[in-house]
Structure 1
Amino acid sequence: MKTNPGQLSQLLKKSLSPVYLISGDEPLLVQECCDQVRQAAKEAGFHDRLTFHADHQLDWNAVADEFSAMSLFAEKRRIEIHLPTGKLGDGRAVLERVLQSPPEDIILLLISARLDAAETRRKWYKELQGKGVHVPVWPVDADKFHGWLQQRASSRGLSLTRGALAIMSERLEGNLLAASQELDRLALLANGTTIDEETVEQAVQDSSRFSGFELVTELISGRAPHACKVISVLQQEGENPLGLLAVLSRDLNLLLELKSSGGQAENPASFLKKRGVFQPQRVRAMEQAARQLNRAQLHDAIALCSKVDRATKGFDPLSPWHYLRDMSALLAARA
C-alpha cells in the first residue's frame, strides 16, 4: 500500500509490515519517516540492524544470504538498504524473491531517492505494494512552507511573532534541514520568551535553497515575484540553466497539447500522468496553466526557451537568466 508521511505514525501503531519503502529527495523528511519505522521496529523487538548501500560494489548475493539465513537464537533483525539512485539494478531479482515470502523475523527498510515511473512498473515494486508500505516524500510546496515552519516551531514549544515567522520563511524556504536546525537554535535562545523580528534578524542566516524543478513550477504557475527570487538564487549558486530548460520546454509543449485537445480527449490529470508528470503540485499548476494561458503565450514562451539555450551556450549577449525573467512576466499574465 501507499501512504503519506502524515499517516505513517498511525499506521505503525496498528501493525508492522515486513517491508517499508521511504522514497524522496527531501533528506530531513525521509530521515524522520525512517526514524519512525526504526522506533516502531525496536519497540516490537527488532533490535539488531544490518545496513547495505546499493552502490556498484554491493554483492546482492550477500543480501540474499541474510534473508535466507536463520537468525541465531531467533533474533529479530532490521535490514536497511539505501538506494541512492532510486534504482535496484541487479537487486531486483533478490527483492522479488524476498517479497514473495517475507521472513517473519526480519523487517526490511528501503531508503531511496525519488523513484522514477519506470521503477514503479517493475515486478518488485508491485510485490512491495501488496506486502508492505511505500511512503513517497515530496518537498514542501512553496505556498505551504510558512505553515510548515509555524507547525514545526509549535512542536518545539516556540512562539514567534508574525514578522519573525515571515523573515524565517523568506530566508529558509526550500531548505527544510536548515529550517529545522535554525528552530533548534532559536529554542535554546528563547528560554520561554516569544521570538521577535530582531532576534531572527540577528540569529537566522539566509539559507533558502531551490532547484530547477521548483523554478519550472513557479514559472508555469505564473508566480512571477517568487520565480524571480528563485532565479536570483540559482544564478548566484552558478546553476546551469540547461538542466531546467529541458523540463520547462517539455512542460510548455505538453500545455500546447492540452490546449489543442480542448480538454475533450481525456482528463488532464490522466494526460499528464501518462507523460510522466506525477507530483501533485506540478499537476495542479499544469492544469491551471492550460486553462488560463493562451496559445500565443505558450508559443512565445517556447521561443524564449530557444533564447535561453543560445544565451547559455554563449551565442547571445544577454544572460540566460534575463530571458527566464522575461518568461516569468510572460506566463504571469493570465486570462
Structure 2
Amino acid sequence: MKLDYQQALNRVADAKGAWLVHGGEPLLEQNLLSAFRAHWQSQGIERQRFELQSVQDWKQIFSALNSLSLFSTQLAIEVHGNIKPDAPSLKLLKSYLQNPQDNFLLMVFPKQESQSLKSAFFQAVEANAAVVALSAYGAQQQQRILQIEAEKIGLQLTAQAWQWLIFHHENNLLSARNTLLGLADSFPEVAQIDIAELEQSVQDQSRFSTFDLGDACLKGDLAQAVKILNFLIESGEALPLIFWVLQKEMRLILQLFEQPQNALQLGIWKNKLSLYQSALRRFSPQQLLSWSNLLLRTDQAIKGLGDEHPHDLLLQLVCALSGQAIFTPSS
C-alpha cells in the first residue's frame, strides 16, 4: 500500500512488517523517524540501525531480524541507504514479509525516480507492506505541515505571514521550521506573528544554515566549515539537525565510492555531482572505513549515551568530511 506523510504519522503505532520511506524532505523524514523511535522506546522494542554500503549488508539485516537478543522479544531495524537488495536478498525480504512475527523493518531511502519505484524491490514492499512518499507539493500542503509544527511550539501566524514564509524558503520545509523555532524564541509575547516579525527573525538568522555547513565540508574548506559549525551551535541550532546533514553527506560519499557510476541514482543532483566527485578524491579507503564508528559515537553522544561530548564529535565529523585531521601527527 502507498501512504503519504500525514497518513504515515497517524499509523506509526499500528505499523507492522515493513515500511519503505523515501523522499527529499528532511523535516518529514526526521519527524517520522522521531515518531517511530518514541513509539519503540515506549513499547520497550529494541532498535538497531544499519547503513547500506554494499548489497551484502542486506544479508546481515535479515540475519539480525531472525536473531533477537536475550533481553528482547521484539526488534525494530532501521536501514538507511540507497542500495536495493540483489535477487537472493529480495527472496529473503519476501519471505520476511510473509511472516514478520512482531519485528519491524523500516527502510529509509532518498528521493526515488519514477522508474526506480517500478523495480521488483519497491513493488514487493508495496504489495506486502507500505511505501511512504515523503513529499509536500504545493503551498497549501506545505502550510498544513508547517502549521502543525507551529502548533507544537504555540505559534500563530497571519495569512500574509504564512504566504511570506512559504515563498521566502522556496519549498525548504526544514529551513521554514527553523524559522518558526527562531520566531518562538524571539517573540514569545506576540500573540500572532506577522510579516514584520518574520523579516526581522530571518535577517537575524540568515547568516548560515546547516546546508552551508555541508557544502563547506564537501569543498574541503575546513576553516569555513568550523566557523559555520560554531555559529550553528552558538545560535541554538538543534544538534540532531547538524548531525543529519553531516551524516547524509558522508553516506552519499560512501555510496559514491561503492557505486561511482550510479551517482544520480544515489540522489546526487547533477549540479552538485562534480562537488561530490572532487570530495571523494580527497579520501583514502581507510579514511572512509573510519566514518561509520565516528557517526555511531556522535549519534550516541547526541542522545546522551556514553561519556563523549557531542560538540567535540561534531567537530571531528566536520574535519573528517573536510578531509583534514584535527591534530597534526606531532601533537
Please give the range of the TM-score, normalised by the shorter of the 2 chains.
0.5 to 0.7
Which whole-Å CA distance do the structure 1 matches of 2:49 and 2:109 have between them? 13
Structure 1 stretches of at least 4 aligned residues deviating more than 6 Å after TM superposition: none
AA aligned to 1:82 is H
Q: Which has the higher contact order (CA 8 A, sep 6+)?
A: 2
CA-based RMSD of the aligned residues comes to 3.3
How far apart are 1:39 and its partner, in Å? 2.6
Aligned to 2:7: 7
User: Is the contact between residue 54 and residue 88 of structure 1 (CA under 8 Å) also seen in structure 2?
Assistant: no
| Matching residue within 31, 53, 56 for 2:54 | 56
Which whole-Å CA distance do the structure 1 matches of 2:108 and 2:270 have between them? 29
Aligned to 1:283: none
User: Is the contact between residue 20 and residue 133 of structure 1 (CA under 8 Å) also seen in structure 2?
Assistant: yes
AA aligned to 2:3 is T
Q: 1:148–1:59: structure 2 CA closer, same or farther, 3 Å change rule?
A: closer
AA aligned to 1:32 is N
Q: 1:101–1:122: structure 2 CA closer, same or farther, 3 Å change rule?
A: farther
Number of residue equivalences: 209
Q: Deviations over 1:153-188 (max 9, x none)?
A: 344321223443333222112111110111011111
Q: 1:121–1:157: structure 2 CA closer, same or farther, 3 Å change rule?
A: same
Q: What's the % identity of the aligned pairs?
A: 26
Paired residue secondary structure (1:188)? helix
Q: Deviations over 1:58-109 (max 9, x none)?
A: 53332232122243244322111112x363457434423322332x242111
The answer to whether structure 1 residue 171 and structure 2 residue 168 are counterparts is: yes
How far apart are 1:111 and its partner, in Å? 0.6
Aligned to 1:201: 199
Which whole-Å CA distance do the structure 2 matches of 1:186 and 1:86 have between them? 39
The answer to whether structure 1 residue 109 and structure 2 residue 106 are counterparts is: yes
Question: Counterparts of 1:1-335 in structure 2 under 5 Å?
Answer: 1-13=1-13, 15-46=14-45, 48-56=46-54, 59-83=57-81, 85=82, 87-89=84-86, 91-102=89-100, 104-142=101-139, 144-146=141-143, 148-193=145-190, 194-205=192-203
Give structure 1 stretches of 5+ with no counterpart. Answer: 209-238, 244-335
Which whole-Å CA distance do the structure 1 matches of 2:97 and 2:197 have between them? 52
AA aligned to 1:42 is Q
AA aligned to 2:34 is D
Paired residue secondary structure (1:134)? strand
Aligned to 1:325: none
How far apart are 1:127 and its partner, in Å? 3.5
Which whole-Å CA distance do the structure 1 matches of 2:113 and 2:120 have between them? 14
Aligned to 2:222: none
- Rg (Cα) greater in structure: 1
Q: 1:87–1:127: structure 2 CA closer, same or farther, 3 Å change rule?
A: closer
